[in-house]
Amino acid sequence: MDPNFSALSPALQAAARDAGLLSATEVQGRSIEPILQGQDVWVCAPTGTGKTLAYVLPLLNAAAKGAQRNAKGAKLAATLVLVPTRELAVQVGEVFKGLAQRLPYGVKVSVIFGGVSILPQLRGLRSGTDIVVATPGRLLDVMAHNALPLSSVRTLVLDEADRMLDQGFADEVQAILGHIPLPCQRLFLSATFAPAVSGWALALLQQPVRVDLGQAAAEQTTIAQRAFAVDSAKRTRLLRHLMADAHWSRVLVFVATQYAAEIVADKLRKAGLRAEPLHGHLSQGKRSQVLEDFKAGRIRVVVATDLAARGIDVIQLPVVVNYDLPRSAQDYTHRIGRTGRAGESGLAISFVCPDTQPHWQLIVKRHSLSISLETEPGFEATALAPKVPDLGSPSALDPHGGIKGKRPSKKDKLRAAAAQAVVA
């Protein structure tokens, strides 16, 4: 057994061994000990490096010390894990439960997320729980029903913390924090930390232990990255061509909108491929079924919005395709991190259309990438890239700034400034 697991209880070490966990990843080796000691920990590491188990193992170890109980004998939650998406909540809950069921002592794990009826979740909390994995919005709903007091919480985990900030959960997280007494151990984990998120972390954590594997892990990545210049109208045919040529067994395709997910999946189905869309407008039952079928190999292609950029953990997913480029340069990391996980090799392909070349250049620059644009015979881009206007200056036709309602928006100006910065 890995010496990094030696601080865990013998029962948990045996459970980890039975689950096939024989050696710790670097993030686990550097995180487990400080978490066991009750310190705040701030982890920045790419997806696929084992961040989830880095906190699951020590928190299950802490649960072995026995649960707090209320006057009626029901367990009181000692650990709260907040995640941004339903899919990630399910995934993290499965990791906790998979190890907990191998332990000789009972540890109850409750998973709470929206998109489904709240009633079964409320009933499941009546007898209490040890560990709660939840999305912020549904947790607040549960608290409004007085079904889950947080006064007993001693450890709070913010997993994929930057995504929670991006999705506007900061206020909800602050509202939840107001119900958790101090002192409380806090763990902050993500694949990237933008400046705004770093400020959030520093405000929440007390003298945290820093575990930063961002640069080192990036240098050791097993993900090959390629980019193809292609006209927008040729992307679906190029995708089918690449799949047939390379015999990809499964592909996760990222698009920008729910509408695009439906359209692209439908085109692939008409071409004889087993494909399904995955986006936020689908019911939770449908989303879960799509992921289950994808993992089992019953579906070959999942066409997803950024809903799936976090929280999908598919063993040996060989290829990720950016059919549409991510809106945020940071999201590029999260998307391609769905492949090449846990030391496996993977391939990430991006389709770059003439009108998205400036944004692609920005992504390349932000991540210090060296990726040449390729062309596939028969699918060459023929459209001309649009010229980037000088949106920071008055119109040449109208020195007063153009006609009201047709002036460049703030977002237009920011995009233009970014494009000009890349060219410079």
Is residue 423 over pLDDT 50? no
Q: Rounded to an integer, what distance in angstroms lies between the CA atom of residue 154 and that of residue 326?
A: 37
Going by pLDDT thresholds of 50, 70 and 90, the confidence category of residue 387 is low
Give the per-residue pLDDT at 80. Answer: 97
Report cis status (omega within 30 of 0) of the bond before 399.
Answer: no
Q: Rounded to an integer, what distance in angstroms lies between the CA atom of residue 55 and that of residue 155?
A: 11
Quick check: do 3-214 and 221-374 share a fold?
yes
CA dihedral (233, 235, 241, 244) in degrees, to 10, reads: -130
Phi, psi of 329 (to 5 degrees): -60, -35
Q: How far is CA 203 from CA 24, 34, 74, 188, 272, in A?
A: 30, 20, 33, 11, 52
Closest CA to 135 of 93, 100, 106, 98: 93
How much is the average pLDDT of 374-378?
93
pTM check: above 0.85: no
- Alpha-carbon Rg for the chain in angstroms: 23
Is residue 393 over pLDDT 50? no
Secondary structure E strands in 147-207: 155-159, 185-190
Share the mean pLDDT of the chain: 84
Q: Write out pLDDT tens, residues 103-159.
A: 887 899 999 999 889 999 999 999 899 999 999 999 999 999 999 999 999 999 999
Closest CA to 369 of 361, 379, 377: 361
**For 67-71, 196-200, 242-246, 350-354, which range has the lowest pLDDT when averaged over its residues?**
67-71
In the chain, where the domains are located:
3-214, 221-374, 388-424
Q: Rounded to an integer, what distance in angstroms lies between the CA atom of residue 123 and that of residue 245?
A: 51
Give the per-residue pLDDT at 424. Answer: 34
Give the per-residue pLDDT at 56. Answer: 95
Angle at 125 between CA 124 and CA 128, to 5 degrees: 125
Fold assignment, 3-214: Rossmann fold (3.40.50)
Fold assignment, 221-374: Rossmann fold (3.40.50)
Beta-carbon contacts of residue 253 (< 8 Å; ≥ 6 apart): 239, 264, 301, 302, 303, 304, 320, 321, 323
Going by pLDDT thresholds of 50, 70 and 90, the confidence category of residue 391 is very low
How much is the average pLDDT of 419-424?
39
Name which residue leads in pLDDT, 163 or 30: 30
Give the per-residue pLDDT at 306. Answer: 84
Give the per-residue pLDDT at 401. Answer: 44
Give the per-residue pLDDT at 195. Answer: 72
Give the per-residue pLDDT at 221. Answer: 56
Host H or E run for residue 266: helix 258-270
How much is the average pLDDT of 96-108?
88
